[in-house]
Amino acid sequence: MNVRVIIERVGKVYRDRRGHEVVALEGIDLRVEPEEFVAVLGPSGCGKSTLLGIVAGLVPATSGRVTFEGARRPGTPLTAMVFQEFALFPWRTAQANVEFGLEELGVPAAERGARARRYLDMTGLGGFQDRFPHQLSGGMRQRVGIARALAVEPAVLLMDEPFSALDAQTRLLMMEELLQIWERTRQSIVYVTHNIQEAVFMADRVVVLSRRPGRILDIAAIDLPRPRAEAQLGEPALVRAVNRIWGLIRSEAQAALTEERA
């Protein structure tokens, strides 16, 4: 699907419990091209997840707009979300969880089943379709969440720190598996993370947000060949990109500490 995400001057203002305005995002301009993998990172509280929610249509923007430009298949959603929490229905099997979004779209039962099995196979869960979430490991449960999002075949896949609850070894395996899925599907992805190495390893571009209110500090193009593999984690190009981005985020953190002490 040749869908481009256009984020224009997006801002978000909340009101706290006392009625005071809190500016979460300010003046965000970004384009995500078809088949592009874009990571978004920044300090805690900078509005990463809020931005993702606005793109998904779950959170209204206070200013600016998000538009989707290009052609997509009839009957498919613009976006689908993979959350940090596994967000599975405990009373549904893995396959029934994957079929849920297809049910909501009115996809016929036979097609639902076939599509769910296809994406379960793609995410390494072939043979586990009849297991319930409590019978699966954390990594397997997150694979179900990814399969569920992919099954509706969205124009853009949105991922909000999807591997943060996993242990380090499982996280690395899941990162590699997601990249393999991306190679097969060329699914446009916007991926929120707080892990710099993860963002650089996976993305075509990394969008670095400032501390609140979140503004774009930099958009780093990642010069690493694809397909990507664990061996590239030590490559000089990756290390340089990680150090550059860490320098930006560290400067933001130091500025925040200086303000707090003033």
Give strand ranges (E) for the chain: 2-15, 21-32, 37-41, 63-71, 79-82, 156-160, 188-192, 205-209, 216-221
Give me the CATH topology for the region 73-261.
Answer: Rossmann fold (3.40.50)
Residues 199 and 197: their CA atoms lie apart, in Å, by: 5
The tokens for 147 are: 């399969």
| pLDDT tens-digit series, residues 109-165 | 999 999 999 999 999 999 999 999 999 998 999 999 999 999 999 999 999 999 888
pLDDT reported for residue 45:
84
Three-state SS for 125?
coil
Look up the pTM and report it: 0.92
Domain locations along the chain: 1-29+48-71, 73-261
Q: What is the mean pLDDT of residues 153-180?
A: 91
pLDDT reported for residue 256:
65
